[in-house]
Structures are given as C-alpha cells and as structure tokens.
Amino acid sequence: MMISPLLLRVAARERNASALTVGLQVAATATFLPQAWFLAAGLTAMVSGDTATLLRSAGAILGLVLVRGLLTWSQARAAARLGSAVRVRLRDEALTGALVPSALHDARRRDGALRATLVDGVDGVDTYVTRYLPAVAQVLILIPLVVALLFAVHPVAAAAAGLAAVVAVLAPLLWRKVLVRRSSTHWDTYEGLGSDLLESLRGMTTLRVLGETGVARARITERSDALHRATVRVMRTSLFDTAIIDLAVQGGTLAAVVLATTDALASGDRPATAYLVLLLSGEVFRPVRDLARAWHAGYLGTSAAPALAALGAGVPPGPHPGGGSGGGEPSAAGAGSAARTGTGSASAAGDASSAGASGDSRGGRTGSRATADLVIEGVTFGYPGAGRAVLRDVHATFPVGTVTAVVGPSGAGKSTLLDLVLGHLAPGTGRVHRGGLPVGADDVALVAQRPVLFEGSLRENLTVGRPAATDAEIRDACAAAGVLDEVLALPDGLDTRVATAGSTLSGGQRQRIALARAILSERPVLLADEPTSALDPAAARTVTRTLARLGADRVVVVVAHRPESLDGVSRVLELHDGALRPAPDSPGTDVARRNPAPVGETAATAAPLSPGSHA
C-alpha cells in the first residue's frame, strides 16, 4: 500500500465527502458476501433439485445486483464531488504558493514543471483520494470481515486464506523504498520534459533564426528517452508487485478450496459448505485485487505529493515552505507578506489591472482613501542569497496629482520597486501604504513593458478590471491610449478575438491596450514600466500626454529609460546604489531643495511641482 501522510490530510479535510465515498464503495463491495451465500444455496438447490430454493436464491441475487448497481452509481457521484472539491482546494493552495514572493523570483522554477504539478499532479491526487484510498479502506474493513465469516464455516480454510491475504497486502512493502525512489525519479523526469518542451515551443522562432532547432530536438529526445526508462523501471516494480499479489491470491484461494473439498469428501457433508468456502475464499481477495487495480490511480498522486507540498498545497497551516520571515535581514518575503499577499496584481511582466476585485473596481475607493498618497516608508529589500540589498531604507511619497518618473541604470532595482508597490514582494523592513493602509487589490493598475493579454475578445481584455464598463467608456479609454482607430479597423472591432498572450497583436498595440485597460479601471495608482518602449514617436507622444493628464487626479509612476518617456512628468527620481533621490536637473529638484525632507527621510519625499505647470 502507498500511504502518503500529505494526501491523507488532503482527504481528511473533506471529511464528510471522503467518508461517504469510502462508505458507499465498501457497502457496494460488501454486497458480494450475501451474494456468495445465496449463490452457494442456489448451487446446492440445483444439485438437489430444490426448485423453490433455487428461485428464491436467484431472486435474492438479482436484488443484490440491483442494490450494488445503485450503490456503485451513488459512489461514483460522491467520488466526483469529492474529487472536484479536492482539485479546487489543492489548485487554489498551489497557485497561492506559486505566487508568494520567493516563488515568483525563484530562478530554479520552470513553468513546465509548475504546469505539470498544477494539472497532472492535482489530477493524480484526485484519483488517489477517490479511488485508491477507498480501495485501501476495503482491504482494512472487508478482509477481516470475510475471514471471520469464513472462519465460522471452515476455520482451517479461513486461516489459509487470511495468511495469503496478509502476504498479498504486506509483501510489496518490502521494496517500498525502491518504488518511492523510482517514482520520484519518474516525476522529476516528467517535469523536466514538460519544461523543455514548453520552453522550446515558446522560443521556436528564436531557435529557427539561430539554427538551433536540432539542438532543441536532441534535448527533447534525450528527455523523452529518460522518461521512457524511468517509466519502465517503475513498471517493473509494479509488475513484481502484481506477480506477488497474484501468487498469494491464487495460492490462498487454492489452499482454502482444497481444504474445504477434502473435508467435504471425507465427512460426506452436503456440497453447500464446499460451495460457500469456495465463494467466500474468492471474496477474501476481492479487496486485494481492487487495490492492485487502483495502484496506478495512487501512483501519480503520491509521485506529485512532494511537488505540491513544496508549493504549500495540503500542508498544515504555518510558514510557507518557500517563504521567509521579515525582520532586519532583507529577504524576498517579509513580515508584511500576509498583509500584502493577494493584491490582485498580475506578475511583474503582466498587467495588474487584469486582476482584482470583480465588478466595478471604483466601489471600494471612497472618501480620503480615494485621494491618499502612495508612500514608501523605510523600505529595505534584498533577494535571498544576493548578499546585498537592492533597496536600502528608501523613503518616498508619491502624491496624488503628480507624474513621477523613476530612472536609473539597468539592475538598479526599478522593477523591484514596482513589485513592492504591487505586492509581488514584501519588504524586509519598512512598508508600502496609502493612507496608512496596505495597498489593496483595487488600488493599483500596471502598464507593463510586456503586457499580458488573455485569449478572448478585446472587449473582455479591456474590461477585466471593470466588467461593467460601457462601450462609450471603452472607446474613450482606447482613444486616450491612442489605439481606438486601430481597434475599430479590425474586422470585429472590440469583439475581435485575441490569441493567447495577445500574439495576434503587435507589441505597440498590446502596450496601448494595456494602457486603455488601466485607464478604464480608474484605479488611483498607475504604474507604467517603459510604456513607450514598443511605440513609434507619434504614438509615444500620445501616450505621454495621456499619462500627464491622468496624473491630474491620481498617482502616476513611470519607469523610464527613453527621453520621450519623461515628457510631462512632475519630477524625476533616480534609483542608484539602493537609494532613491531626485535626479540631477529633475523638474522637482529645486522644489526639493526649498522643501527639505523631514529628518529620517531622503529628499525623495519632497513635494513635487504642480502638475498644472506642465499642462
């Protein structure tokens, strides 16, 4: 038997559904016991010519078949409900674990392996809980029951059958360590193949341009061969299990039948006892055979259990395996992670306005909260193992009504700063807040350098953050982003279908669609990461003018490398060597000098110029 403590906990969390599924399966299988009794009585009646008993036995058997069919149907429905609940809960926990700060920035994590865990691994746990565990319950409940009934009929035959059943169940445990090791290798190889294949498909254009498709093909072939070898090794172990189980089952059944038949011939008893011993001996091993058939259902679930546990799925409440703790030492996960997790933002490469509360996102922003400044207060952050903090004691205030550009060399930490605001990362020390409260799910919209679009219509992509938006509002947002004419020129306009990741649109179109989506969401903080990187000069000017207008009633932060991205900004902050301060010749430098920051803060918190001066 393959018993995983993690998967047992998963089943125990759905206690009622698990009990119902197991109970119905045990009850359905238990109907074979009275069926054996009536079948023995019927065979005896047939031999003796007792027609009345034969008919009664046949009627009883037919009734038991109908009852078993009803129980089996009910068990299948209960198992489907249990499996659905297990899958939903596990995937929710696994996805939550995959989005913790340390996991988002784990260079060892591969998308293909994550996909295998979330899809195949969770499905494997479903079958383990709904098929394998009920089969284990049958072994533990029905075998002792049938052996006890058989003992009442023929003690010696019961002893022989019981001993054989024990051998069939326990003998495979002798090489369980070998099976666990081979199963782990098989799963790792499967994840590796999935990862290589996904990455090769994503980069196929680049591979073809570089003439490296042959190298990719060879790598995938090697991975496939390794998976084949790992699968064969697991199957060999499985076949050895099957051989031992079949030998014990056949040997135990044969011994019980021989003993019962010998006693019947020697004593001259009626054949009813021999028939009943023969049939009950077979029922002793029915749970064993069911367990063997369910082995493959249990195998995939136990193989995936470590990968799911690494994501925090199914584990007891407590610190996340991949997380960290806050405190003085900067890390990717801090004490504020609980407050910051679940901001509704997409990944740093995506678009935060594509996630968040459903319905009209404006509903949660009323009163002073709607006009609260964005404040970065004493934030220090460093990636685990980096040895040096990316940001060190950063203080900055981004007031409503300003457009602030953040500049700095590549690798200075600009994207890290955005991730902290979005909640993808939690600071080791300090906090990011608006009006004293953590930045919430409906506070921030992101226009990423590589925006994420989803398969569906343009309308669906534009209204993800605000499903109730009208066509007029959608068109206004597209016009402000400078993409309306191109949208209307498409065959179906706003209802034009977009391929996965927006691959049917150009990079510039995706960027402006993301800006329109952010505008439509009307969130009080707008982060734009190189919003003009894929645009021609004319489109770039439209976008920068739009950002300047948006800055009149919200916080706008622009990460910029290109000079045209600085047009219309209220001030420029430079991120260098972990510190954030006004850039030389920044529009806000003179104001910063006239209004020095409070003690304990950097000049980055100084008041900006009025956005009206840049209209």
- Mean per-residue pLDDT, 121-149: 92
Instruction: Answer yes or no: do 67 and 188 share one domain.
Output: yes
**Cβ pair 240, 182 in contact under 8 A:** no
Instruction: Answer yes or no: do 260 and 403 share one domain.
Output: no
- Residues 556, 441: Cα–Cα separation, whole Å: 17
- At residue 138, the pLDDT reads 93
- Looking at the 3D structure of the chain, how many domains does it have? 2
Q: Find the CATH number of the domain harbouring 23.
A: 1.20.1560.10
pLDDT surpassing 80 at residue 221: yes
339: Cβ–Cβ under 8 A, 6 or more apart, which residues?
438
- Residues 455, 604: Cα–Cα separation, whole Å: 41
- At residue 363, the pLDDT reads 39
Report in angstroms the alpha-carbon separations of 285 from 24, 145, 257, 267.
Answer: 19, 12, 13, 27
> The whole model's pTM is what?
0.68
pLDDT tens digits, 293-325? 888 777 788 888 888 888 888 777 655 444 433
Q: Can you tell me whether residue 573 is helix, strand or coil?
A: strand
**Cβ pair 207, 187 in contact under 8 A:** no
pLDDT surpassing 80 at residue 567: no
Instruction: Answer yes or no: do 348 and 216 share one domain.
Output: no
State how beta strands 391-398 and 555-559 pair: unpaired
pLDDT tens digits, 16-54? 999 999 999 999 999 999 999 999 888 888 888 888 888
**End of a domain among 294, 310, 326?**
310
Is residue 393, in this structure, part of any structural domain at all? Answer: yes
Instruction: Answer yes or no: do 246 and 351 share one domain.
Output: no
**440 or 137, which is more confident?**
137
Is residue 578, in this structure, part of any structural domain at all? Answer: yes
Instruction: Answer yes or no: do 195 and 54 share one domain.
Output: yes
Is residue 60, in this structure, part of any structural domain at all? Answer: yes
Instruction: Answer yes or no: do 266 and 382 share one domain.
Output: no
Measured from the Cβ of residue 107, the count of other Cβ atoms closer than 10 Å reads: 7
- Residues 451, 137: Cα–Cα separation, whole Å: 50
- At residue 333, the pLDDT reads 34
Is residue 317, in this structure, part of any structural domain at all? Answer: no
Helix-, strand-, coil-residue percentages of the chain, each rounded to 5: 60, 10, 30
Instruction: Answer yes or no: do 234 and 363 share one domain.
Output: no
Is residue 293, in this structure, part of any structural domain at all? Answer: yes
**401 or 586, which is more confident?**
401
Instruction: Answer yes or no: do 343 and 409 share one domain.
Output: yes
pLDDT band at 102 (very low <50, low <70, confident <90, very high): low
Is residue 322, in this structure, part of any structural domain at all? Answer: no
State how beta strands 402-407 and 571-576 pair: parallel
**67 or 576, which is more confident?**
67
The two tokens of residue 25 are: 């399966």
Can you give the residue range of the structural domain that contains 61?
5-310
- Mean per-residue pLDDT, 176-185: 81
Is residue 323, in this structure, part of any structural domain at all? Answer: no
- Residues 487, 497: Cα–Cα separation, whole Å: 11
Instruction: Answer yes or no: do 299 and 406 share one domain.
Output: no
Measured from the Cβ of residue 225, the count of other Cβ atoms closer than 10 Å reads: 12
- Residues 340, 76: Cα–Cα separation, whole Å: 41
Amino acid, single-letter form, for residue 593: R
Q: Find the CATH number of the domain harbouring 435.
A: 3.40.50.300
**End of a domain among 292, 310, 328?**
310
**598 or 274, which is more confident?**
274
Instruction: Answer yes or no: do 287 and 355 share one domain.
Output: no
According to DSSP, the residues that pair with 327 across neighbouring strands are none
pLDDT surpassing 60 at residue 348: no
What's the chain's average pLDDT?
A: 79
Secondary structure element (H or E) that encloses residue 431, with its range: strand 429-434
